[in-house]
A and B are shown apart, each in its own frame.
Chain A
Amino acid sequence: EDKVVQSPLSLVVHEGDTVTLNCSYEVTNFRSLLWYKQEKKAPTFLFMLTSSGIEKKSGRLSSILDKKELSSILNITATQTGDSAIYLCAVEGYGGSQGNLIFGKGTKLSVKP
Chain B
Amino acid sequence: NAGVTQTPKFRVLKTGQSMTLLCAQDMNHEYMYWYRQDPGMGLRLIHYSVGEGTTAKGEVPDGYNVSRLKKQNFLLGLESAAPSQTSVYFCASLAITGELFFGEGSRLTVL
Contacts and interface: CB of A to CB of B under 8 A. Distances in A.
B74 interface: no
Interface string A72-113: 000000000000000010101000011111111110000000
B105 A103 contact: no
Given A50-B98, A105-B40, A106-B42, A42 B58 contact: no
B100 A34 contact: yes
A103 B50 contact: no
A106 B42 CA distance: 5
B98 A42 contact: no
Interface of A: 6, 9, 32, 34, 36, 41-43, 45, 48, 50, 88, 90, 92, 97-106
Interface SS of chain A = strand
Interface in B53-92: 56, 58-59, 90
Interface of B: 31, 33, 35, 40-45, 48, 50, 56, 58-59, 90, 94, 97-105
B48 A48 contact: no
Contacts of B35: 103
Nearest to B32: A99
Contacts of A9: 40
Contact of A105 (B41, B58, B90, B98): B41
A34 B48 CA distance: 17
B103 A42 contact: yes
A32 B97 CA distance: 11
B59 A43 contact: no
Name the 4 nearest CB pairs between A and B, nearest first.
A42-B102, A105-B42, A103-B43, A48-B98
Contact of B104 (A34, A41, A101, A105): A41
